[in-house]
């Protein structure tokens, strides 16, 4: 298993150098897929070796998904939802300009009443959301998003990396409920709009996952150390 602080960030740094030159584009895609695989279950990349995400999910009980150690923390359910929704919105609406994986069917299966990334949720809302959501369907949804992202990465050409998201695609983030018209949420529309496709690959589709999964692992460790 990778050392999160060193090996993973080193690979991101290498990807940042490889992704722009045409001569290293194929290597960049290969590395992006490798980095992406680490943060998803092995099912997504057909890996026989347990991933960081597999290690996180291994042994988790339903109640573990709703644990919030302090008021400054989130929950595992929230982290998984947040990174999955952002990957879905960016990969499909902004990069591919196609439908999200998320739809009414997934909404019903996960037993949720929200569509957005969760950026505007407060602590009470996070706990309520985490208790309500179907944990296995949340994992299934994230797997589906990850599988679609891998198709996207494999389909891109070097010239596809240069454009920034189209205005229509950015508007869809709000009209389809992915972002809310609140300052905690809507800032992402402008933030993502300033990035080229290569920039979106370097953050929402890859590095962003490892900004949240280690926090989830820390919560898991907290639940294991807690004396009941």
Q: Over the chain, what is the mean pLDDT?
A: 95
How many Å separate Cα 57 from the centre of its chain? Answer: 15
Mean pLDDT, range 168-189, rounded to an integer = 98
How large is the C-alpha radius of gyration of the chain?
A: 17
Tens of pLDDT, residue by residue over 158-169, are: 999 999 999 999
Q: What is the pTM of this model?
A: 0.95
What is the structure's pLDDT at 2?
46
Tens of pLDDT, residue by residue over 45-84, are: 999 999 999 999 999 999 999 999 998 899 999 999 999 9
CA-closest candidate to residue 29, choices 197, 210, 194, 211? 197
């Amino acid at each position: 298993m990778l050392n999160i602080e060193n090996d993973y960030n080193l690979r991101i740094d290498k990807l940042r150098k490889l992704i722009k030159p045409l001569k290293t584009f194929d290597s960049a895609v290969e590395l992006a897929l490798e980095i992406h695989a680490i943060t998803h279950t092995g099912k997504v990349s057909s890996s026989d070796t347990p991933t960081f995400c597999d290690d996180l999910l291994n042994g988790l009980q339903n109640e573990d998904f709703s644990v919030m150690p302090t008021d400054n923390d989130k929950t595992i359910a929230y982290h998984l939802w947040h990174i999955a929704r952002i990957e879905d919105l960016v990969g499909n609406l902004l990069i591919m300009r196609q439908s999200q994986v998320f739809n009414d069917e997934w909404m019903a299966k996960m037993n949720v009443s929200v569509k957005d990334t969760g950026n505007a949720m407060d602590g009470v809302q996070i706990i309520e959301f985490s208790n309500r959501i179907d944990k296995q369907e949340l994992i299934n949804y994230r797997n589906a998003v990850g599988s679609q992202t891998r198709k996207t990465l494999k389909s891109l050409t070097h010239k596809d990396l240069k454009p920034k998201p189209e205005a229509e695609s950015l508007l869809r983030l709000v009209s389809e409920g992915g972002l809310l018209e609140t300052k905690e949420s809507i800032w992402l529309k402008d933030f993502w709009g300033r990035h080229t496709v290569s920039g979106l690959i370097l953050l929402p589709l890859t590095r962003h996952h490892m900004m949240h999964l280690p926090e989830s692992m820390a919560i898991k460790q907290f639940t294991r150390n807690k004396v009941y």
